[in-house]
Amino acid sequence: MAMLEGIRTRQEATQAALGGPECGHVFTESDGTPIHPQVLTRRYKAAARLAGVPVARIHDGRHTAITIQLATGVPIHVVSSRAGHSRVAFTLDTYGHALPAADRDAADQHGSLIHGLR
């Protein structure tokens, strides 16, 4: 959070100095304008190669983040909203594969509750 706050402070100072409008993006070009997706992809690939790590699609990072949120129990409506999906059903259709463990956990919790009532 501290790193993001520092970036935000620098952005605000740059935008004020340049007289540019607030664009609302976290990461921008030096003049405060949004980074074009192709430019971001090129920079990401170059950084990955330099670091000696496999180059994955940026979209794979989004998919991983959503899957992890679901697998760790973040409520589906929260995940769907954060992903920008207009319908929870779309999130479930696309990322439902991440939920089998959640189904087992639900069964275990239900069983524990019933067993505890005896």
Residue identified by tokens 């909203």 is 81
Q: Is 34 helix (H, G, I), strand (E, B) or coil?
A: strand
Question: What pLDDT was estimated at residue 56?
Answer: 87
> What stretch of H or E contains 7?
helix 2-18
pTM for the whole structure: 0.56
Q: CA–CA separation, 17 vs 23, rounded Å?
A: 15
For 28-50, what is each residue's pLDDT tens digit?
A: 787 777 888 899 889 989 999 99
Could you give the angle at which helices 100-116 and 58-71 cross, rounded to 10 degrees?
Answer: 10
One-letter amino acid for residue 25 of the chain:
H
Question: What pLDDT was estimated at residue 34?
Answer: 82
Over 60: is that where the pLDDT of 118 sits? no
